[in-house]
Amino acid sequence: HETHIDVADVVEIPDLTPPALSPQVLPIARRAWEARAASEYIGVMVVRRFHGLLVDVNAPTDLQELALSMMLQEQQHTALCVAAARSLGRSGSLSFSLEELQRPRTSATVDEQLIEMIVSAYCVGEVVALALIRHSIEVLPPSSYRDILRRIAKDEVLHGRIGAPLLRLVRSEGAA
């Protein structure tokens, strides 16, 4: 399935004048931004599932609202990455398998699914993603593309730090 995102509807896009890249580097940069966009869009689906699990376990509403905010951030990150890919000559269309987007529930209990998601997505996945973005920011030369990564990293700090406190909360004696 192909998804077309009109980035102007989602987030303010900075001026993305492509830098002078060699013919060998340009295709790599295009693919990298397109892969980043796909990863962020899958992140939207991950947070969507996370929010659903929080609702199912009747988590506090402030935590549910936090998940909704994180979902919007992932959507905005996707839009920024699509804009970067387009500025480098990509179409901006992303393709995914249906299974990749659906993030189906398993036969495990809702509590088990929530704990598995907290550990895999927020104690591991987002922590690694944040480290990779930070590394990219350090090694890329100054540009509006690096600025996009900085904007993403500001949000990803929350995504990368929420796992351990959530796990402690879930494991606390008073947790429902």
pLDDT digit string (tens) for 44-75? 999 999 999 999 999 999 999 999 999 999 99
In tens, the pLDDT along 89-124 reads: 876 666 666 666 666 677 889 999 999 999 999 999
DSSP state string for the chain: -EEE--GGGTSPPPP-PPP---TTTHHHHHHHHHHHHHHHHHHHHHHHHHHHHHHHTT--HHHHHHHHHHHHHHHHHHHHHHHHHHHTT---EEE--HHHHH----SS-HHHHHHHHIIIIIIIIHHHHHHHHHHHHHHSPSSHHHHHHHHHHHHHHHHHHSHHHHHHHHHSTT--
- Range 68-84 average pLDDT: 93
Least confident of 17-26, 33-42, 81-90, 149-158: 17-26
Residue 23: what pLDDT? 85
Mean pLDDT for all residues in the chain: 86
